[in-house]
Amino acid sequence: MTAPVPAPLLSVLEIIKKTTDFLAGKRVESPRLSAETLVGHALGLRRMQLYVQFERLLTEAELEKIRPLVRRRASREPLQYILGETEFCGLTLKCDRRALIPRPETEYLVELVQQRFSPTGPSQVLDLGTGTGALALGLARLWPTAQVTAIDVSPDALALARENTEKAGLAERVRLLTSDWFSALEPGCTFDLIVSNPPYLTTREVAETQPEVREFEPARALASGADGLDALRLILSGAPTWLAPNGLLAMETGIAHHATLRDLATASGWLGFESKPDLTGRDRYVFLRRSLPPADPTPSAAA
């Protein structure tokens, strides 16, 4: 009886191609990117390092590291959860199912907020619904003298935010607080900036999202009532108590919300309603003040 012939070893490129085809059959978006990222992660290689090793033959032990990652992606688990981390504003954040995945839209909110302050930035910042801690940590990194309070109602999300805060070396300036929106804040404290990426989808919109979102990300961080506005209404009504004079409220919102939010803000006495689009041109961000900044007393050149 002859011994069985061992299967030929496959190269990195062959495994990437096979994985790409497999993921495409599972309707995974950008299957080649997922394949390269997962294979590189399993082998401890960055994608550019992977490219120069396409002809390298993989051992069975290496394939055993790759297979479970590919199975998870084929089930439509988000790539960030499989890798366990994501990049945000120059930080590498731990990322898992305890909180939403930080997205480029929220990273752009940090950039827009920065444009509305002097280089020194605000002294007191409040992040409502911090999740992974992305906004709080991004702003704390941006402004080295800012004190940031980051709140969330989810103990699991706050535990994740605490891990990210310690990893980023920002624990001395980022305070984490369990709170249902403003409920646990100390009376009398105020903030120069209140920022939030709250839930703003309807239940129907969540049901229509990709499986990566509706089956893996926390539902309470996604949906907010029949029209998606419940959390935004609470923030609009509650923020004036906690906003310092000339302070700024900055929010990420749903793309169909801005007309309604403008009416709600006007009825509630907010000033300077400003709507800004995201990088795809869709209405995404709202900026509001309770009182407008004083006019520049410096005479103009024409005076």
- Concatenated DSSP letters for 49-68? HHHTTTTPBPPHHHHHHHHH
**Predicted confidence (pLDDT) per residue in 238-289, tens digit:** 999 999 998 999 999 999 999 999 999 999 889 889 999 999 999 999 999 9
Two tokens, residue 239:
């923020």
Break the chain into its structural domains and give their ranges. Answer: 12-75, 85-289
The C-alpha torsion from 205 through 208 and 211 to 214, rounded to 10°, is 30
**Distance of alpha carbon 68 from alpha carbon 215, whole angstroms:** 19
Two tokens, residue 223:
């949906």
Give the strand pairing for 271-277 and 283-289.
Answer: antiparallel
Output DSSP code: residue 221. G
pLDDT at 301 over 70: no
Q: For 85-289, CATH number? A: 3.40.50.150
Backbone φ and ψ of 145, nearest 5°: -105, -5
**Distance of alpha carbon 123 from alpha carbon 106, whole angstroms:** 21
**Predicted confidence (pLDDT) per residue in 82-134, tens digit:** 999 999 999 999 999 999 999 999 999 999 999 999 999 999 999 999 999 99
Fold assignment, 12-75: Helicase, Ruva Protein; domain 3 (1.10.8)
C-beta of residue 147 within 8 angstroms of C-beta of residue 173:
yes
**Averaged over 134-160, what is the pLDDT?**
98
